[in-house]
Structure 1
Amino acid sequence: MTTAAGVTDPPTAVEVLERCRTLVRPALGAAVERLHPWVGEMAAYAFGWCEVGGAPAEAPGGKGVRQALAVLGAEAAGAPAATGVPAAVAVELVHAFSLLHDDIMDGDATRRCRPAVWRAYGTGPAVLAGDGLFALAVETLAAAPGGGTAVRRLSAALGDLVTGQADDLLFASRPWRGPQRVRPGEYRAMAERKTGALLGCALALGAHLGGAPEALTSGLDRVGRRLGVAFQIVDDVLGIWGDPAVTGKPVHGDLREGKKTFPVLCALDGPGPAARRLAALLEAGGDAAEAAAAVRQAGGRRAALAAARTLVVAAVDELDALEPATGAAAELRSLPGYLTDREL
């Protein structure tokens, strides 16, 4: 946007995400069309492009954060935006694959205000669709110039994602208090693998395909990982207090399901009576609204948001130190605040 003084303002995060989605959408659609028709329908349903049975739809889809990071990674290396499209398609396919499997593992019945794929099509078909998306991601990336090295980087990120998911599932069996309880630091390490690895990989893959030196590629990976942890923490806040019309999930849903999320763990880490009361409520499976109030009273919400904002500042500082190409730097700076201040 150009001001009255003739100065061009940097694009907003919404504009950046829309530009990148528009660029990537044809290639993403063409990739999905290569799948088996039934598997492709489930993938299209997951992306919000169709209803069960294949009728066209315009259901809410994701924001396209990962694909935008891949495009911006290429631009940060001084390459044209289109150079990052294969990376954007690959990471978006991997993200969709992980969501399909996550919803099954977590028993989440809804995703983006619609039945999750496993509820709409069945558990077995949803697993198959996830596997198809994963295979398609590898095929897409391998076919790009420099794709061999890029696939190795994607594989490493997937290894981190699996490790993070395993830790997250194991957290469920640990107690709410005592020496075996989950500490906030453990959760952050899990979130860096489960969520941060793919955001870092998206930036790094785009930069790699754009011909960036390893120092820039690895630095952008670190930036994305920090943003990923911040993103996960904010998701956790929304999982307790978010508007169901925005999150697509019931209010207090994470507490009702007994999930060990970052605001809860921060609240339990305190020494006061509010933390002890919260632990007793959680152990007894008490009222979710009462537990949410106890998390807030014990400082869990405040501590979580403070941690997310600290991570964003660190990510932006590192980004500035890397000195990416000017246009990409401005657009990358627009994203962190948008990701961490959404609907809070």
Structure 2
Amino acid sequence: MGEFLTEFRTETTLPAPGGQRGTEPGRPAGAPKRRGPIGTQRDGRPGPAEGEAVMLLERARAEVDPVLRDVLGSLPGPMRRIALYHFGWEQADGTPADGGSGKAIRPALVLAAAAALGGPEARAAAVRAAAAVELVHNFTLLHDDVMDRDTTRRHRPTAWTVFGVPDAILAGDALQALAMRLLAEDPHPAAPAATARLADCVVELCAGQHADTAMERRGPGEVTLDEVLAMAEAKTGALLGSACAIGGLYAGASDADVAALDAFGREAGLAFQLIDDVIGIWGDPRRTGKPVGADLAARKKSLPVVAAFTSGTPAAVELAELYARPSEEDDLDHIALTVERAGGRDWAQNQAADRMAVAMQQLARAVPDPEAAGGLLALAEFVTRRSS
């Protein structure tokens, strides 16, 4: 665990502006890299933790997808068509497609948490709950794409660009309703508590999205780091925390353990968002499925950008001037470099490591046995040691 956090701080796999790979923080220019890309061994093959995480994600996808396909099949025709397109299972014209429906991180966390505290039986019992969490996640994606005007997701046009804004919003609403119905119809004794927790999470997600959109209307110097961190916890950490907590509920865990699992997921989720924001600026569009510099072009106040704005450096002043210009005058590579010079990239990566350290402490409280906690740890490492 300690080795992971040390490596997390001292490595990066994200390309620097201009396509060159950035120097690792803490490593002199020209010095040999300690190892291959994050999560891999020196020969480029997946490391043990990444291999376990991939296995858990694939297994979760295999178990949850049939439930999702079944429940999506209950939607009225037009809503079903949009939902199946969004999940990557149909083309816009309704013909079958073999597109991916996402990494299944959140359902995998539900199942891993249930297994960690309740074993295989609890894990099997939590599959419907895991599907409900995945439905809520995709409800947020449909709505976020509309509000952010994102045109690409999972390497294909977003649903609103294909079917229109009203239909995409309604499809998202339908997914949220299906999630609650899945839990309402689940005979498991933990289902009522899971339903309440997921409903509370949706309210928090909406509050986080509201804060996010409100911040976009404010000037560069009017948003604090505390505000943007609280917003990110609500938008991203809340659902990962809820996923872990729901898994604990299905395992019959104590209130204290469920709370620790929620805290673990929230902190890991915030680390996830920090890395996601780094990828949003410096990631490879061939891997992310989104246009390069999309967050900068949209003038989003992502975590690295706000850290750069509040750094008090000359680069921060320059960045504020660049953000004030019309987007058609953009030199996105230059803006990205300015964020980096103002310390935004290093701050985000260090903050992500700090959040992961707290997450590990919370996980140890809920699941003191390292072997039992292995699945949750592998998933947390996977989502915070990635480049797409």
Give me the TM-score of the superposition, normalised by structure 2.
0.83
| 2:71 equivalent to 1:31 | yes
Is residue 2:181 matched to residue 1:116?
no
Of 193, 213, 216 in structure 2, the residue corresponding to residue 172 of structure 1 is 216
Question: Of the candidates 118, 139, 143, which is equivalent to residue 101 of structure 1?
Answer: 143
Moved more, 270-279 or 87-96: 270-279
1:246 aligned to 2:287?
Answer: yes
User: How big is each residue's C-alpha offset from its partner over 1:14-67, in whole Å with a ceiling of 9 and x where there is no partner?
Assistant: 111112111222112111111112212211111111111221111132110001
Partner residue in 2 for 1:20:
60
Q: Which blocks of at least 5 consecutive residues in structure 2 are unaligned?
A: 1-47
Q: What aligned pairs does 1:127-276 form with structure 2 within 5 A after superposition?
A: 127-144=169-186, 145-146=188-189, 147-177=191-221, 181-276=222-317
1:314 corresponds in structure 2 to 358
Give yes or no for contact 1:77–1:212 (8 Å, CA) kept in 2: yes
Shift of 1:264: 0.6
SS of 1:77's partner is helix
Aligned to 1:296: 340
How far apart, CA to CA, are the structure 2 residues paired with 1:312 and 1:328?
18
Give the distance between the partners of 2:94 and 2:247, measured in 1 at CA. Answer: 32
**Counterpart Cα distance in 1 of 2:72 and 2:104:** 16
Are the equivalent residues in 2 in contact too, given 1:72–1:328 (CA < 8 A)?
A: no
* 8 Å contact kept, 1:230–1:309: yes
2:377 is matched with which residue? 333
Give runs of ≥4 in structure 1 deviating > 4 Å. 324-328
Q: Is the 8 A contact 1:77 1:325 kept in 2?
A: no
Shifted more, 296-305 versus 16-25: the winner is 16-25
TM-score by length of 1: 0.93
Unaligned ranges ≥5, structure 1: 1-8
Q: Distance in 2 between matches of 1:335 and 1:322?
A: 16
Matched, 1:43 2:83: yes
**More divergent stretch after superposition (18-27 vs 90-99):** 18-27
Query: Per-residue deviation at 1:325?
Result: 6.4
CA shift digits 1:194-222 (9 cap, x unpaired) = 11111111111121122111111111111
Structure 1 residues 275 and 326, CA gap change in structure 2 (3 angstroms): closer
**Shift of residue 326 of structure 1?**
5.9
Aligned residues: percent identity?
43
Question: Which residue in the other structure is 1:4 paired with?
Answer: none
Supply the RMSD in Å over aligned alpha carbons. Answer: 1.5
Aligned residue identity for 1:222: A
Q: What one-letter code is carried by the residue in structure 2 that aligns with 1:310?
A: D
Give the counterpart letter for 2:144 in structure 1: D
Contact 1:72–1:84 under 8 Å retained in 2: no
Q: Could you tell me how far apart the structure 2 residues matched to 1:125 and 1:338 are?
A: 34
Deviates more, 1:71-80 or 1:60-69: 71-80
Judged with a 3 Å threshold, the aligned counterparts in structure 2 of structure 1 residues 160 and 59 are, in CA distance, closer, same or farther, namely: same
**Native 8 Å contact 1:77 1:324 kept in 2:** no
8 Å CA contact retained: 1:76, 1:324: no
Supply the distance in 1 between the matched residues of 2:301 and 2:263 (Cα, whole angstroms): 25
Rounded Cα–Cα distance in structure 1 between residues aligned with 2:81 and 2:112? 29
> In 1, are the aligned partners of 2:272 and 2:352 still within 8 Å (CA)?
yes
In structure 1, what residue type is equivalent to 2:303?
F
Amino acid at match of 1:130: G
Q: How many residues align?
A: 333
